Amino acid sequence: MAVTRFAPSPNGPLHLGHAYSAIVAHDLAKERGGQFLLRIEDIDGARSRPELADEFRRDLEWLGLEWDEVPTQSSRLESYDEAARELLEKGLLYPCTCTRAEIEALKPRLGPEGLVYPGTCKGRLLDPAKPAALRLDVDCAMARAGDLEWEDELAVCMTADPREAGDVVIVRKDAPASYHLAATLDDAADGVTLVTRGQDLFPATHVHRLLQALLGLPVPSWHHHGLLMDESGKKLAKRRGSPSLAERRNSGEDGLLLAEQLRLHRFPAGISLAST
């Protein structure tokens, strides 16, 4: 039995990489007599376009997938607030008013998810007029949680190493929760037992494993699949000219056939599957 999920953010149309990801999650659940869930992650600040969610449902239907839909993230804000309060009360979060430009100017080290915040606001008196995010004090959190392991079906058993990503944002300035907090809480609330997603999110799992320990959440297994790449070796993205699933669907392409091709790893010209 496996409960898997596909959790797209409606901030742009889905492309072939998303189709591959949804099919992997769908098929793993079906092969194991489990359940495949769709969760719309619609709290991405100004970039979120909730009207795209209907397009996503049509795309999945076109690919021949069957799913159960769980509540969208925008309907779960209370649970994010509650968890953030719990972490705050444990002394594991601190407010940060730094802007992206200010952080860049500090020339911090590069981590798996971009620049690693050097902790400038930690313990500092902040201007209350400035909007603040809440960051995880990762050293403090690790000291509290101790050594943590997690398991990826395609890799080995990993020791969680969230320090690599530094003091990540838990509550954003422009959104009620960061991806890390929302996805971790939702996977637990939705009973997901096998988190399937692309390898680009592998580093995030270290942070999620830590959050699970801090918040007393169940620990699933993970399955980070390879990513579809274009000719230049870059991850597929709409902006690099790969047609969206909606465009393919509207042009009359056969979605069931496309899904079968993706299952067989037969990709359109110039597209390949890469695993790191």
Burial 211-243 (b: 16+ CB within 10 A, else e): bbbbbebeebebbbbbbbbbeeeeebeeeeebb
Token pair, residue 29, equals: 């659940």
- State the minimum distance, in angstroms, from the CB of residue 9 to ligand GLU: 4
For residue 222, give the nearest of 193, 254, 248, 253 by alpha carbon. Answer: 193
Work out how close the CB of 227 gets to ligand GLU at its nearest, in angstroms, rounded to a whole number: 12
CB of 276 to ligand GLU, least distance (A): 17
Q: Which of residues 201-230 bind ligand GLU (CB under 6 A)?
A: 201
Instruction: Annotate 14-44 with b (16+ C-beta within 10 A) or e (fewer).
Output: bbbbbbbbbbbbbbbbeeeebbbbbbbbbbb
Residue in the structure block whose two tokens are 């590069």: 110
Cβ-based nearer residue to ligand GLU, 76 or 137 = 76
Smaller CB distance to ligand GLU: residue 44 or 260? 44
Residue closer to ligand GLU, measured from CB, 59 or 137: 59
Strands 3-6, 35-38: pairing is: parallel
Give the DSSP H or E segment for 240. none
The answer to whether residues 123 and 141 touch, using CB atoms and an 8 Å cutoff, is: no
Taking CB under 6 A as the criterion, which residues in 235-254 touch ligand GLU? none
Q: Is 41 in the site for ligand GLU (CB under 6 A)?
A: yes
Nearer to ligand GLU, 108 or 203 (CB): 203
Q: Report the residue number, 94 or 150, with the smaller CB distance to ligand GLU.
A: 150
Q: Which is nearer to ligand GLU, 7 or 188 (CB)?
A: 7
Return the residue matching tokens 């979605």. Answer: 255
Q: How far is the CB of 41 from ligand GLU (least distance, A)?
A: 4
Candidate ranges 2-10, 123-131, 224-232, 260-268; the one touching ligand GLU (CB under 6 A): 2-10
Stretch that binds ligand GLU, among 4-12, 87-95, 110-118, 233-241 (CB under 6 A): 4-12
Contacts with ligand GLU by CB under 6 A: the residue count is 7
Q: Give residues 5-34 in contact with ligand GLU (rule: CB under 6 A).
A: 7-9
Q: Between residues 15 and 197, which has the closer beta carbon with respect to ligand GLU?
A: 197
Give bridge partners of residue 173 from the DSSP assignment.
none
Assign 111 to helix, strand or coil: strand
- Shortest reach from residue 239's CB to ligand GLU, in Å: 15
**Choice between 62 and 196, CB closer to ligand GLU:** 196
Q: Element (H or E) spanning 2, and its range?
A: none
Q: Would residue 119 be called left, alpha or beta, if left means φ above 0 and alpha means ψ between -120 and 50 degrees? A: left
Considering only 1-9, 49-57, 114-122, 167-175, which stretch makes contact with ligand GLU by CB under 6 A? 1-9
DSSP string covering 15-47: -HHHHHHHHHHHHHHHHTT-EEEE------GGG
Interface with ligand GLU by CB under 6 A: which residues? Answer: 7-9, 41, 183, 197, 201
